[in-house]
Amino acid sequence: MVQAISATTAQKGRKRLALDGFEYFKTTYLGPALPEAGWDEGPLPRRPAQAFLVEQLPNTTVDTHFHCVNQFQVIVQGGGQFGRHPIRPGAVHYAGAYTGYGPIEAGEEGVSYFTLRAQCDFGAHFLPASRSELRDVERRFILADDVQVSGEDDLATLKDASLETIIPADDTGLAGYLARLGPGTTLVAPPAAAGGGQYWVVLSGALNWAGETLPAKSCVFISPGDPAMPMAALDRGSEVLVLQYPRSPEPRARGAARAG
């Protein structure tokens, strides 16, 4: 099932939260925001997709941690440090389940980023305190930090649409692409069935989705059972990340043989 939500709609649910003295803004786009009483996570394949935007306040730090599901993160505003790496808008991070990452350090302007999951998860497991909860699985950490986000004036000059690979597809189905569409052009994204579903994140410009405008900071989740989907730019063009998950949500055992 395809799920799309515009930044305009999502921002109505923006909330300021505090966790152990750490304050931030969170905007839920898709999936459950917080676990409810009696909520059962259930098997990974049955869990709903989850997407939210975190606005980390200036000069704050999220310590190194891991989650129990695969996830992408996309920097959309501000900057700072991701571990040893400087980050800026357009940077894409992928962490496989049980892969530690961070710390995430916000700079002087703060840093805003999407967290995108094909299967929902609740709660960070901070390291080293949660080391005993790690599973002996293959660790996957990718940081594509050289994505150049185009301004709308640049997009307006494009005559056609193109697709650039930012994370080469591997034997699990994991992949990432950057679509650039000139005004009024269309492009058919790679099929989500090649992996375990995919997110689109609008970085710049706007898409037309079934008559609805999806401006920057909007997102779309396409399940692996959906056909390949066309994206259509509006009159100023659009730039869109296409982020595809591995076919299986279960992490692969460490040292498992790879196909091919």
Domain limits of the chain?
3-33+46-144, 152-244
- Give 120-150 pLDDT, tens digit per residue: 987 889 999 999 999 999 999 999 999 989 9
Q: Which helix (H) or strand (E) holds 152?
A: helix 152-155
Length of the chain: 260
Q: What is the pTM of this model?
A: 0.93
User: 3-33+46-144 with 152-244: one CATH topology?
Assistant: yes
Q: Cα angle vertex 250, ends 118, 62, to 5°?
A: 60
- Give 171-188 pLDDT, tens digit per residue: 999 999 999 999 999 999
Q: How many CB atoms lie within 10 A of CB 44?
A: 19
Q: For the chain, give me the number of helices (H) and strands (E)?
A: 2, 19
3-state secondary structure of 113: strand
Q: In one letter, which amino acid is 65?
A: H
- Percent of the chain past pLDDT 70, that is, above it, reads 94
User: For residue 84, how far is the Cα from the chain centroid?
Assistant: 20
Mean pLDDT, the chain, as a whole number? 91
Q: How many CB atoms lie within 10 A of CB 120?
A: 20
- What is the topology classification, in CATH, of domain 152-244? Jelly Rolls (2.60.120)
Cis peptide bond N-terminal to 128, omega within 30: yes
Assign domain 3-33+46-144 one CATH number from 2.60.120.10, 3.40.50.2000, 3.40.50.300, 2.30.38.10: 2.60.120.10
* β-strand partners of 53: 27, 114
- Comparing 66 with 37, the larger pLDDT belongs to 66
Q: Which helix (H) or strand (E) holds 244?
A: strand 230-244
Residue in the structure block whose two tokens are 């055992």: 253
For residue 99, what pLDDT band results from cuts at 50, 70 and 90?
very high
Q: For 156-183, what is the mean pLDDT?
A: 96
| Residue closest to 133 by CA, chosen among 176, 99, 179, 86 | 99
Q: Which helix (H) or strand (E) holds 125?
A: strand 125-126
For residue 33, what pLDDT band results from cuts at 50, 70 and 90?
low
pLDDT value at residue 256 = 64
- With beta carbons less than 8 A apart as the criterion, state whether 111 and 84 touch: no
pLDDT value at residue 75 = 98
Angstrom distance (rounded) from CA 226 to CA 187: 16
